Amino acid sequence: MRRRTFLGTFGALGVAGVAPSAPAFAQERKSGKLKIADLEFWRLEGQRETQSGRTPISSLYMKIRADSGLEGFYGPIDDEAAVVVDQRLRLVVLGKDPLAMETLWEAMYRSNRHARTGLFMMAISAVDNTLWDLKGRYFGVPVFRLLGGPTRPDIEAYASCLGYSLEPSALQKQARLVKDQGFRYQKWFFATGPEAGPEGFMKNVEVVRNLREAVGDNADIMFDASRHWDLNYAITWAKQVEKYRPRWIEEAFDPDHIDSFAQLRRATSVPVASGEHIYGRWEAHDYLRAGALNVLQTDPEWCGGITELLRICAIASAYDVTVIPHGHSLHAAIHVIASQSPVTCPLAEYLVQKMATYYYFEKYPPRLTGARFPLPDRPGFGVELDPAKVQKQTPVHWS
C-alpha cells in the first residue's frame, strides 16, 4: 500500500479510545517536524474460551502520539517497564522528535544513573519499539524495511517447549508432534539441577536421550537449564550427552557468571547459549570478549529495544557469534531477524504454549505457516486490535 493511501485511511486500531485519530500530514511532510505529544498505556480485558470455560485475560499496550496525530502502538508491554516509562521516561521524550531514534535512546539511557540495566532498560525498550512502529507508520512500510531487510522470504522458528512434561512417554509424544508440525528445531527445559542429586542428574541425561530417540538424527534439539546449575554439574552433564549432539545448552548459570560460561564452552563440544538477561551492548560485549557463548539470545523487549539489538547484532557478527533473540515477545524480534544476515540471525524462538494466547487481542498477530513466519506486510508492526475480543479498555497511569 502506498504511504499516502495508508496515511489517509489509517483509522481505528480496532477499539474506540485506543485508536489513533486520522492525522493531517500535508503540513507535517512539508515542515518535516514532529513532536511527541503524549505517551499512553491501555489495559485491555476480555475472556477467552478454554476447555474449562471462559477465562479472563488482560494485556497492556503502549501508544506514543505525535502532535500531528500520527501514533505508534505496541505491546503487550510488561507492567514493571510501563511504570518506569510513565514515572521516569515520559518527561524525557515529551516534545522531542519521534523520528530521532538515536537521540531519544541516548537521552533515555542518560536520564538516570540506573538506566543501564534491569527495569530501566526494559522501559527504554518499550519506548524504543513503540517509536519504531510510529516510524514505520510514518513511512508506510514494515519496520524491517527501515532496518534494511528483508534478507530472506520468511523467518524460520524453533519450537520452545516450556511447560510440557518431561515424563519419557509424554516428552516423546510431544516431540514427535512438534516435528510433524514442521519444526526442525525444538528446545526443552530442565526442571532440576544439582539439588536433585545423582538421580536427578541421570534424569537430565535421559531427557536428552529420549528426545534424540523421538526426533531422530535429522532434527536439532536444544536445552535450557534456567540458571539452575553450577560449573561442575554442567560440564559433567555435557560430557554425558555430547554423543546426542545437542544444538546448545542455555542459561546453565546466572548471568553474572561469565567465566563459568566461558569455561563450559572450552570444556565441551556442546554449544553454549545465553542472553535473555543481558542488557545492552556492553554486557553483550563482555560475554563475547570472554569467549563465553556460541549463541547470544538478547531480547529486544529487555535489552534496549530494536535500536540496541541492532548494535548487539553488529558486535556479535564481528565475533562470529549467532544471535537468536529470546522469544518473550515476537513483533520486534521478527523484524530484526528479517533485516539481518541469516548467518547472524538464523532463527526466531516460538514459545508454543505462551504464544497461543499472548496476542489474544490482536487482529493480525504473528502466525506461523508450518514452522515459518511470513514476512509482515503492514506498516510499522501492523498491530491492530480486534474489537470483538476487547470487552473493556482502561487508561493506566502511575505518575
**Residue 66: strand pairing partners:** 36
Q: Which three cell numbers stand for residue 84?
A: 518506569
Q: What angle do the packed helices 258-267 and 231-241 form, to 10 degrees?
A: 30
Output Rg (C-alpha) for the chain, integer angstroms. Answer: 22
User: Which of the following is catalytic: 228, 277, 326, 328?
Assistant: 326
Q: Is the preceding peptide bond at 325 cis, omega within 30 degrees of 0?
A: no
DSSP-based three-state secondary structure for 296: strand
Please report the sign of the dihedral spanned by the C-alpha atoms of residue 157, residue 159, residue 299, residue 235: negative
Annotation says 326 is catalytic? yes
C-alpha 313 chain-centroid distance: 14
Yes or no: say if 387 and 15 are a contact pair by the CB < 8 Å rule: yes
CA distances from 395 to 39, 40, 80 (A): 11, 7, 16
**Integer angstrom CA distances of residue 214 from 39, 160, 325:** 49, 16, 27
- Residues assigned a catalytic role: 326
